Amino acid sequence: MLSLAGFIVGVILAGDDGQLLASREQQVGDAAPEETPRAQSPSIPREDVTGSDISGLSRYPGSVRIEYIREDQGSMIWTETEYLTDAGLSQVREFYRDSFRSEDWSVNDVGFAQNAWVFFIVKDEREVFVEIRPRGDIVEVDIEQTEPKEEAPERNTGGGNGNRDNADDQPSQQSQPEPAPEPPPEPAPAAPAPAAAPANDDGYDDNDDDYDDGYEEYED
């Protein structure tokens, strides 16, 4: 009964305008600790840093690229781009969700932690992480992509350009000039015909003279 009576007295003292209740709220507010001030937001640059955007994935309109990294990781290429925008977190998130659908990205996973949204999206052989998080009164968008390295074009081993490159470091047979045909060998000169023997020459004239001389000496 005493509690009820005290409550009724309090209501009466408060009056219809709630002045007593308002005064109490003011006292609680004054006694409560002040809210921690929001972290100071980094200034947004006016121009993009050197680099390029992720192919096939739109960036938030009006955002500024503040970081670009591209690294060769063996058979893969890793690329990271980072943007800042003064738009609200929900606006940026809805923009990228619409972009995923309109640009044929498959959303394989979605996460939310510490006021940051993380999307894992896939397209063909490319895998991309999109993180959207607040930084003071602006929003940062961090995009990381992994994609296979493009295969090197096949080497041309044909002739005609003088810059042949063969796996065995051997010149291509197609590029070697064909040897000129050799001229046919000249015919050997004909042997001279033997001289004709003189008429009535039996080959014994000289011998006969020697024989006659010897015979004459014998007779003497």
> Is residue 24 assigned to a domain?
no
> Is residue 2 assigned to a domain?
no
Q: What is the CATH number of the domain that holds 144?
A: 3.30.530.20
72 CB contacts (<8 Å, ≥6 apart)? 149
Counted domains in the chain? 1
Residue 70 has pLDDT above 90, yes or no: yes
25 CB contacts (<8 Å, ≥6 apart)? none
Q: CA nearest 141: which of 76, 184, 88? A: 88
**Tokens describing residue 120:** 């894992």
Distance between CA 55 and CA 99 in Å, rounded? Answer: 13
> Is residue 156 assigned to a domain?
no
> Is residue 80 assigned to a domain?
yes
> Is residue 133 assigned to a domain?
yes
pLDDT digits (tens, 9 = 90+) for 5-61: 444 444 444 444 445 433 433 443 443 334 334 444 557 999 999 999 999 999 999
Give how far Cα 179 sits from Cα of 158, 160, 176, 182, Å.
Answer: 19, 17, 9, 9
pLDDT digits (tens, 9 = 90+) for 127-156: 999 999 999 889 999 999 999 988 766 666
92 CB contacts (<8 Å, ≥6 apart)? 60, 85, 132, 139, 141
Q: What is the dihedral angle through the alpha carbons of 163, 169, 170, 171, rounded to the nearest 10 degrees?
A: 0
76 CB contacts (<8 Å, ≥6 apart)? 146, 147, 148, 149
pTM for this prediction? 0.53
> Is residue 219 assigned to a domain?
no
Q: Which domain holds residue 95?
A: 64-148
**Tokens describing residue 61:** 């309109």
